[in-house]
Amino acid sequence: MRIGLIAPPWLQVPPPRYGGTEVVVDGLARGLVAAGHDVLLAAPEGSTCPVPLVPGMLAPRAGSAATWSATAELYHVARAYAALSGVDLVHDHTVAGPFFRYRPAALPVVTTNHGPFTSLLGDLYRLMGPDVAMVAISHRQAADAAGVQIARVIHHGIDVEAVPVGDGAGGYAAFLGRMSPDKGPREAILIARRAGYRLLMSARIQGREEKDYFDSQVAPLLGPEVEFLGELSAPEKYQLMGGAVAFLNPIQWPEPFGLVMIEALATGTPVVGTGSGAAPEIVDDGVTGYLRNGIGELADALSLAPGLDRHACRRAAELRFSTARMVADHISLYEEILRDSRLAQSPEPPPGWSPPGSR
């Protein structure tokens, strides 16, 4: 197949530091090529994913003023579809792309919703026509998609083989995510402190809201037993996770997936967090981590986490959350869509019809 991939315009693929969707697009692009398919990727300038890239895309830009964001995404989408007109199928990871009226009419399009269906994003997708196939990233996310036809639920995957296995010998708990109250960084501090564990934290701080939250809710709690490391590169991130006795993920919202959980499992580190969102689809309670509610219950679970089998965590990542599995699921969907598209373009002949000369 000739497959066009469109990444969002906000970060390079792969992302230089923190990134979720961009990690997934990078793995999908590499995996499709490894499986023998041709890939053309529309991603921001400076992307280093080792597949053919659409030239002339905009570079990422700091800040996200509403006007600039809309203009940048539409420009990104327009250039992408113009360059991808010759592919068999496009998998679009932007929001605006599936609604772009000037994309080639007969071009099959797949899109993935990386956010919740319960927000304005969900209302927007309910307006989407049946000519776009929707991928959900968890069954929990899909359960909120009333009015949206879900073509397939496909969990994210990562290149597990590229993730070093840690031994948890650091003796600390780890937290990694955005500096947002939804991710629970303040709760992570309270959990670790109550359980008597040192906490090492890494987070991206972007925008005034996240900076204000850090200054007012997190910074006052820092000290010798709670260290903030800033934003880390991928090797630094895996070193942080692998050295931890547990990865704290006390999310405070129904997160559609949670890539950091499978990254932690890949390092062999069990996950201790709330059962919100897709967490129960990722963490096997009592085997690869503990899912609890409330600071006290989570602190008790953190105390138990060092007794879990780190090999079981790694195995779960290898078997259920690998790039190979994710890519195979997407290839199956793409083939089904292309098969249906060809059938639609070649309708069944009328009853009694036979090719000339066949009688």
244-249/271-273 β-pairing: parallel
Amino acid 217: pLDDT: 97
Cα angle 73, 74, 75; round to 5 = 90
For residue 105, the model assigns a pLDDT of 83
| Predicted local distance difference test score (pLDDT) of residue 245 | 98
Residue indicated by tokens 């547990």: 246
Question: Which residues in the chain land under pLDDT 50?
Answer: 63-66, 356, 359
Q: How many angstroms separate the CA atoms of 159 and 161, rounded?
A: 6
pTM: 0.90
Which of 27, 308, 62, 305 lies closest to 160, judged by CA? Answer: 27
What pLDDT sits at residue 346? 60
Predicted local distance difference test score (pLDDT) of residue 225: 97
Expressed in angstroms, the distance from the first to the final Cα of the chain is: 37
Angle subtended at Cα 157 by Cα 152 and Cα 159, rounded to the nearest 5 degrees = 150
CA distances from 328 to 263, 317, 318, 323 (A): 20, 16, 14, 8
The predicted structure's pLDDT at residue 359: 45
pLDDT in the model for residue 64: 47
Q: Give CA–CA dist 99/121, Å, rounded.
A: 12
Residue 61: what pLDDT?
A: 67
Rounded distance between C-alpha atoms, residue 47 and residue 141, angstroms: 29
> What pLDDT is stored for residue 68 in this prediction?
60
The pLDDT assigned to 197 comes to: 98
